[in-house]
Amino acid sequence: MTDSIRKPRSVGRRAVLASLAAMPAAVINRAEAQQGGGFGTAEKPIQLRMIANSAFSVPWQNVMVPEFNKKFPHIKVQIDGLPYNEQLAKIMLDITGDKPTYDLYAIDDPWVPQVAETKQLLELKKDAKTWTAADYDWDDFNPAPLAASEWKGGQYGVPLRCNMLLRFYNKTHYQKAGLPEPDINQTWREFIAQAPKLVQDVKGTGGVNAWAIATYFTRDSLTPTIWQAILNAHGAELIDAQGKPGFNNPTGVKALQTHIDLLQWAPPGAKAHGFTESLQAFRQGQVANMFQWGSVYKGTAVDPGATTLKPNEVGIMVMPVGSNSPGIMRSGTHRGIWNGCVSRKSPNQQAAWAMLQWLSSKEGEYFHSSVVGAFPARKSTLSRPPAEAWQAPVFKTLQHSYEIAAAGRMWRPRSAKSDQAQTILADETARAFNGDVKVAEALASAASKIERLRL
Amino acid sequence: MTPAALLLFATLAFPVGYTVYISFAEINLGTFTPDEWVGWDNYLTALEDDRFWDSLSVTGIYLVFALPLQMFLGFAIAFLINASWKGRGIVRAAFIIPMVVAPVIAGGIWRMLLDPLWGIANYVIGTVGLGPIDWLGDPYWAMTTVILIDTWRWTPFVTLIASAALLTLPRDVFEAAEIDGANWWTMLWRITLPLLVPMIAATFVVRWLGAVKMFDIALAATHGGPGRATTVVNLFIYEEAFRSLKFAESAAMSLIILVVTMVLTGIFLRGTKMLEERH
Amino acid sequence: MSATTTRSGTHRRRAAILRQFRIWSGVVACVLFLLPIAWMLITSIKQQRDIFTTPPKIIFAPTLDTYVAYLTNNDLPERMLNTLIVAGGAGVISIVAGAMAGYALARVKLRGATTIGVLILLSRGVPPIALAVPMFLVARAMGLLDKHITLILAYCTFLIPYVMWLMRGFFKALPEELEEAAKIDGCTRFGAFFRIIVPISLPGLLSTLIFSIILAWEELLFALVLTNRAASTVPVVISGIAGDTVNGANWGALTAVGTMTVIPVVIFALLVQKWLIQGLADGATKG
């Protein structure tokens, strides 16, 4: 996104109105700001450094930090963006040093246990309690995103940027196929029954030019999250509470097989498609459905420079419901939260935590979602009238997906070896997709390798 | 040679030593020091892992096809673009561009061109009645694609060095041969190639050592898939080290690769020496 | 008499045809190799919605937005400068050290020399992935993280063996009489190296230098691990855009940044062209 690196030329009108509404608070803030919010002085400002992901480090630096500095003018924050693939290694290398370069880290959902195990992250609910503002409302967070930074009973971070795996659908394609718009109760069986009809001619050129589904099929660590969502929808867990694989069973086989079967109704070349390719196919109006991270919504439905679709064409909801299985049946989704964490070795832990508190506060979160477009974790932010019209349906779906994720534990393995397990799953999934091994064999092999990890 | 040797020793001694050291240990990720000595366990783990063996054979296939192709194309193109004419300078400069493009971009552009849904490649081969080809989804084509991209990227290196090598050839030898009435084919076989042996060998060894380490193109173009079809050994080690943070195991695997590379390089060097002495 | 004339006439005509053939097929090969680059250029001036269309769009409303955005609202210019410093520094140091080592290897008849030379070469067998973490630990212990010199030294470790081996090949191809003649004229070995050998092998030296600069120019792993911001290079940015976890890879941005990184190296190559083809005795080859 080009806009992700631009400074906002103009803050949305609604956001301005909203900040006007928050005037009384701003007045108090100004008074506080004269004392620098209690941190640093004009002559001796506190310097904080943060590792973030390059997908959002620039808007954080250019938009969020100046806003934060209105309240805390004497805390200087420098945010360095890192590519995703090497970010965990880089965080681990930094945090284990005697004098780490960084005070703050943005840590992805599955990495929290691994980093927390170093014992170098500040525990925020108990250890940092005295530094926490009285009005900082922990209970307002949805449990699912907050749990992303929880490990062994400690709260090692706060959700800063949320993302959930959701279902996008193209309403025009459903109309053309003569199908009713899908609803939230659609089961996997119904989805698959409709799929052949969605492979169709939507452009009137005579041949097939639209397909039913685009999502992750390639060899990628996020590809297993798709069949995991199917598995979870059927009431099973990927890894159970004891750390044992819960997918090496008929439900698991059915889930992975369903994922593989989707290829039949996917565009040509889909076997090599992942995040970017499936997204582009959907934005070009070539597929009726896409299982994808919610964060792409604005670029998919709203931003005319990035998409060919219009907002009223794009539907969003959680993934289909499990069908025909004993036990629980629910919709599917998958969690992906960026968490803000404080280094225990930072000389300015209190200021660092103040910065995170502001970012994740009701005020900061609303500003973040209004101006940068980030997804919030707080119930209050999600239920508030959003600054932008497109956010209304998305926030409704987000709130729904948080509840489902919490109920069905729809996240990657919670363990210090989470990425190891995910790499194994990705490898075996890829082999099953390629027909190198049968689905059941791939899952059995993944299960035995994961068991050996002793999660 | 002394400055080079000292510089390398100073910068490499600790990293290589550390790699050997942790390859026999279980590493503590809190300190990056060994927790516990495990002897040859990491090596055994690597050798028992089917993914490691699969990646070795994938690397072998890639090397066997990519290296000779790049060497042949590189020298052939060098011969072609060395013909003296006005535009020679520009052609030679343009020829290095594929090397300069970052691997992730190169991989992505090729993906764009080859994708069955929006790529231009299948349109082009469709006009002559071929295809459509699933360049990235079919295991054999995926390997072909990786070799194709790698060849596109690295043939220019061989060309760059080869055209310089052709220029340093002594001219009088050719003039003498021409006076003797030798045709260009004889000159190529009897004079040019023998004179080029040291440079062909040097280019080959440098390209070989580079190609053994290739993983960026496979990562960008095919993510190592489909299945494990293009997971070269360095991609596997990279995933183990930087995704799974299994630094000790990946150190052990790296050292296995080092030994294999050393043995094969030794054989190539010996072969080079024999060729050089024969002429 | 007349028979000889005809023969050399045919010979000359054949040579002329061969030359034409070489020129044109060289141009064709070059164009083929540049097609993906052309696609990169085209993509870099497209809006995102025009990039992944079926069929591919050749006609579209061009935009320079991405270029402007990355040159003004991003730290790309600073990173470009860092890349220039690091690649230039590593290239020059390794060409000096590597060429001398290569010369010693090609000419000095010492048993130990060959062994050390081979060892230097074999140091390239270690996968860089294994070296990145220990190099980070060393750099941190010495307080050298996020400094240009650290990256330059790291790159030298992998460039010197290559330079040494390539230059050995170039030097080996030179007739030994050259140095002997120089020695008779009273030159030391060093003198002979700098006054005779270096000028003669300029095409080789420059080609090797270009190769070294390119390798350092696009290196990612060490740049990622050893730098944070002050010395961070362009490949790190590129990798970040490609792995965008929020909006997917923005190929408009990737190709624009890619194009911008290619330009300086191509300009450099064009500038040194004159010396790249001025080889032995100003020689065009008959190869």
Between CA C42 and CA C38 the distance in angstroms is 6
C-beta separation of A216 from A224 below 8 A: no
C-beta separation of A265 from A135 below 8 A: no
pLDDT of residue A34 exceeding 70, the answer is no
Residue percentage of chain A with pLDDT more than 70: 91
Q: Output the pLDDT for position A13.
A: 46
- Domain check: are B67 and B203 in the same one? yes
pLDDT digits 0-9 by tens, A194-240: 999 999 999 888 889 999 999 999 999 999 999 999 999 998 999 99
Q: Output the pLDDT for position A35.
A: 56
- B136 in a structural domain: yes
Alpha helices in B128-246 (DSSP H): 139-167, 171-179, 184-187, 193-212, 216-221, 233-238
pLDDT of residue C208 exceeding 50, the answer is yes
ipTM (interface predicted TM): 0.89
Greater confidence (C213 vs C118) lies with C213
Q: How many domains does chain B have?
A: 2
Structure tokens at B47: 């050798």
Q: Output the pLDDT for position B13.
A: 83
Q: How many domains does chain C have?
A: 2
Between CA A252 and CA A433 the distance in angstroms is 14
Query: Which residues lie below 8 Å from residue B239, measured CB to CB, with a gap of 6+?
Result: A423, B224
pLDDT of residue A451 exceeding 80, the answer is yes
Sign of CA dihedral B225, B228, B234, B240: positive
pLDDT of residue C28 exceeding 70, the answer is yes
C-beta separation of B33 from B247 below 8 A: no
Question: Do the bridges between strand A287-293 and strand A158-170 make them parallel or antiparallel, or are there none, so unpaired?
Answer: antiparallel
DSSP A22-55: THHHHHHHHHHHHTGGGS--SSS-EEEEEEEETT
C chain contacts of residue A279, beta-carbon cutoff 8 Å = 248
- Domain check: are B235 and B189 in the same one? yes
Q: Output the pLDDT for position A328.
A: 63
- Domain check: are B6 and B135 in the same one? no
B224 CB within 8 Å of a chain A CB:
yes
- Domain check: are B34 and B84 in the same one? no
Query: Helices B2-22 and C148-173, interaxial angle, to 10°?
Result: 120
Q: What is the mean pLDDT of residues B108-126?
A: 90
* CB nearest to A92's CB, from B142, B240, B245: B245
C-beta separation of C151 from C221 below 8 A: no
In the numeric block, the tokens 């990737």 are attached to: C254
Strand partners, A239: A245
Q: Which helix (H) or strand (E) holds B34?
A: strand B33-37
Greater confidence (A20 vs B60) lies with B60
- C68 in a structural domain: no
C-beta separation of C64 from B129 below 8 A: no
Residue C148: CATH number of its domain: 1.10.3720.10
Query: Which residues lie below 8 Å from residue A441, measured CB to CB, with a gap of 6+?
Result: A432
Kindly identify which residue of chain A lies nearest to residue C225, measuring between CA atoms. A90
Q: Output the pLDDT for position C190.
A: 77
Structure tokens at A363: 């005020």
Between CA A388 and CA A386 the distance in angstroms is 6
C-beta separation of C152 from C91 below 8 A: no
Query: Which residues lie below 8 Å from residue A242, measured CB to CB, with a gap of 6+?
Result: none
Q: Output the pLDDT for position C179.
A: 75
pLDDT of residue B98 exceeding 80, the answer is yes
Q: 3-class SS at B209?
A: helix
**DSSP conformation class of B104:** H
Q: 3-class SS at A341?
A: strand
C-beta separation of C122 from B265 below 8 A: yes
pLDDT digits 0-9 by tens, B235-254: 999 999 988 898 999 999 99
Q: Which residues form the domain of B220?
A: 51-278
- Domain check: are C6 and C135 in the same one? no
Residue percentage of chain C with pLDDT more than 90: 41
CATH classification of A13-162+337-403, choosing from 3.40.50.300, 3.40.50.2300, 3.40.50.720, 3.40.190.10? 3.40.190.10
Strand partners, A292: A166
Residue B79: CATH number of its domain: 1.10.3720.10
Question: What are the angstrom distances between the C-alpha of A314 and each of A171, A300, A317, C207?
Answer: 6, 8, 10, 54
Structure tokens at A144: 């699912």
Cβ neighbours around A273 below 10 Å, total: 28
Q: Which residues form the domain of C235?
A: 75-282
Q: Output the pLDDT for position C282.
A: 42
pLDDT of residue A93 exceeding 60, the answer is yes
- Domain check: are B33 and B58 in the same one? no
Structure tokens at A183: 């609803």
Minimal CA–CA distance to A234: which of A217, A247, A215, A221?
A247
Angle CA A66–A67–A70, to nearest 5: 90
pLDDT of residue A27 exceeding 60, the answer is no
Q: 3-class SS at A141?
A: strand
pLDDT digits 0-9 by tens, A250-303: 999 999 999 999 999 999 999 999 999 999 999 999 999 999 999 999 999 999
Interface contact flag, B29 A117, Cβ < 8 Å: yes
Q: Output the pLDDT for position A376.
A: 96
Between CA B57 and CA B229 the distance in angstroms is 10
pLDDT range class, residue B194, cuts 50, 70, 90: confident
pLDDT range class, residue B156, cuts 50, 70, 90: very high
* CB nearest to B79's CB, from C238, C273, C287: C287
Interface contact flag, A54 C224, Cβ < 8 Å: no
C-beta separation of A229 from A434 below 8 A: no
Q: Output the pLDDT for position A8.
A: 42
Query: Helices C111-122 and C148-173, interaxial angle, to 10°?
Result: 130
Domain range summary for chain A, segments of one domain joined by +: 13-162+337-403, 164-334+407-453
Residue percentage of chain A with pLDDT more than 90: 83
pLDDT range class, residue A327, cuts 50, 70, 90: low
> With a CB-CB cutoff of 8 Å, which residues 254-273 of chain B face chain C?
254-255, 257-258, 261-262, 265-266, 269
Q: Looking at the complex, report in whole angstroms how far the Cα of residue B187 sits from the nearest Cα belonging to chain C.
A: 8
- B22 in a structural domain: yes
Write down which chains contact chain C via at least 3 CB pairs under 8 A.
A, B
- C31 in a structural domain: yes
Q: Is A164-334+407-453 CATH 3.40.190.10?
A: yes
Interface contact flag, A118 B29, Cβ < 8 Å: yes
C-beta separation of C232 from C76 below 8 A: no
- B44 in a structural domain: no
- C64 in a structural domain: no
Radius of gyration of chain B (CA): 22
pLDDT digits 0-9 by tens, A425-447: 999 999 999 999 999 999 999 99
Kindly identify which residue of chain B lies nearest to residue A263, measuring between CA atoms. B137
pLDDT digits 0-9 by tens, C189-204: 777 788 888 888 888 8
DSSP A185-243: T-BHHHHHHHHHHHSB-SSSSSS--BEEEE---SS-TTHHHHHHHHHHHTT--SB-TTS
Q: Looking at the complex, report in whole angstroms how far the Cα of residue B54 sits from the nearest Cα belonging to chain C.
A: 18
C240 CB within 8 Å of a chain B CB:
no
* CB nearest to B174's CB, from C39, C97, C286: C286
Q: Output the pLDDT for position C277.
A: 65
Between CA A213 and CA A203 the distance in angstroms is 17
B192 CB within 8 Å of a chain C CB:
yes
Residue percentage of chain C with pLDDT more than 70: 93
Query: Which residues lie below 8 Å from residue B203, measured CB to CB, with a gap of 6+?
Result: B71, B74, B157, B158, B161, B162, B165, C166, C169
Average pLDDT, chain A: 90
pLDDT range class, residue C108, cuts 50, 70, 90: confident
Q: What is the mean pLDDT of residues B260-278?
A: 86
Best probe of the C interface among B88, B97, B190, B261, by most C CBs < 10 A, is B97
Average pLDDT, chain B: 88
Q: What is the mean pLDDT of residues C235-251?
A: 90
Best probe of the A interface among C147, C224, C236, C247, by most A CBs < 10 A, is C247
- Domain check: are B115 and B247 in the same one? yes
**DSSP conformation class of B192:** I
- B46 in a structural domain: no
Between CA B73 and CA A320 the distance in angstroms is 52
pLDDT of residue C102 exceeding 60, the answer is yes
Q: Output the pLDDT for position C253.
A: 92
Burial (CB count within 10 angstroms: exposed 0-12, middle 13-18, buried 19+), residue A158: buried
Task: Kindly provide the residue ranges of all beta strands, DSSP E only, lying in A17-141, ordered along the sequence.
Answer: 46-53, 75-82, 104-108
Best probe of the A interface among B115, B133, B135, B216, by most A CBs < 10 A, is B115
Q: Output the pLDDT for position A33.
A: 47
A chain contacts of residue B103, beta-carbon cutoff 8 Å = none
C-beta separation of C252 from C44 below 8 A: yes
Q: Output the pLDDT for position A319.
A: 96
Phi, psi (rounded to 5 degrees) for A438: -70, 155
Alpha helices in A262-335 (DSSP H): 275-283, 297
